[in-house]
């Protein structure tokens, strides 16, 4: 089945294949069919950041940016599902083509650029999902927000997703958002983390729960 599906998807452009696959996984999740396609994963519980994961293999952010298929991916046996990267306002991302196949390396090049429908849309999808497992929400800044004001975007997103996330990932690694990677060094990173930690303390008191923060940085 995988070989046939791969052959069919490779007849389409990479981004069309991506969108179609996401739609199909989401539809399978709504119908409760995805669990029939794979064996139940081995139980390998781990505790990280104070959270209990049923197994250590999760879905990374970037595949389901808008939370369109949360239940579908959960039914495939992932130990956690991380959605996003999300920004305060919707944005189209980089011009197409922006996703490229490297068949000889069984890999892709992703230059999509935080294309997403905005944090409010994502929260509506989270509210509609039945998944009760570990849910990470990955947050970033809008393309047109000056890097000097980037913390404002992260705080907006943190405020909105805090009550709905098991953990929140702060993405400062994307090479496709101008100036973003400058936030992962020195005083810029210290100030960003300090502001987020202060806001998290306020949100923890308000919501009565502590939500861990993870930081996504680029390998240098």
Interval 21-76: pLDDT, tens? 999 999 999 999 998 888 888 899 999 999 999 999 999 999 999 999 999 999 99
Give yes or no for residue 178 having a pLDDT over 80: no
Question: What residues pair up with 194 in beta bridges, in sequence order?
Answer: none
Question: What residues pair up with 91 in beta bridges, in sequence order?
Answer: 116
| Confidence (pTM) | 0.95
Structural domains in the chain? Answer: 2-216 (3.20.20.70)
Candidates 30, 122, 39, 119; CA nearest to 71 is: 30
Q: Kindly report, residue by residue over 155-172, the tens digit of the pLDDT.
A: 999 999 999 999 999 999
DSSP 8-state secondary structure symbol assigned to residue 143: T
Query: What is residue 220's predicted lDDT score, i.e. its pLDDT?
Result: 60
pLDDT band at 192 (very low <50, low <70, confident <90, very high): very high
Give strand ranges (E) for the chain: 46-48, 51-53, 81-86, 99-102, 107-110, 135-139, 167-171, 213-216
The one catalytic residue in 17, 173, 174, 188 is 174
Residue 174 catalytic? yes
Cis ω for the linkage preceding 117 (within 30 of 0): no
- Return all residues near 180 (Cβ < 8 A) that are at least 6 apart: 140, 141, 147, 150, 171, 172, 173, 174
Query: What is residue 38's predicted lDDT score, i.e. its pLDDT?
Result: 82
What's the whole-number average pLDDT of the chain? 94
Q: How large is the average pLDDT for residues 76-91?
A: 97
Q: Kindly report, residue by residue over 118-167, the tens digit of the pLDDT.
A: 999 999 999 999 999 999 999 999 999 999 999 999 999 999 999 999 99
């Amino acid at each position: 089945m995988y070989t046939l599906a791969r052959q069919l998807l490779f007849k389409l452009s990479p981004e069309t294949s991506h969108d179609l696959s996401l739609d199909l996984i989401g539809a399978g999740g709504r119908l409760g069919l995805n669990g029939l396609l794979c064996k139940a994963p081995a139980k390998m519980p781990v505790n990280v950041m104070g959270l209990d994961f049923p197994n250590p293999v999760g879905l990374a952010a970037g595949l389901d940016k808008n939370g369109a298929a949360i239940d579908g991916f959960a039914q495939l046996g992932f130990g956690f599902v991380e959605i996003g990267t999300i920004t305060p306002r919707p944005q189209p991302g980089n011009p197409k083509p922006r996703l490229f196949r490297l068949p000889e390396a069984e890999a892709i090049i992703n230059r999509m650029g935080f294309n997403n429908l905005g944090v409010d849309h994502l929260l509506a999808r989270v509210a509609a999902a039945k998944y009760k497992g570990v849910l990470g929400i990955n947050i970033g800044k809008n393309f047109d927000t000056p890097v000097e004001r980037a913390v404002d975007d992260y705080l907006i997103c943190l405020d909105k997703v805090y009550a709905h996330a098991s953990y929140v990932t702060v993405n400062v690694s994307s090479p496709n958002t101008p100036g973003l990677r400058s936030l992962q060094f020195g005083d810029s990173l210290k100030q960003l983390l300090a502001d987020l930690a202060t806001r998290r303390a306020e949100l923890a008191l308000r919501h009565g729960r502590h939500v861990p923060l993870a930081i996504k940085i680029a390998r240098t």
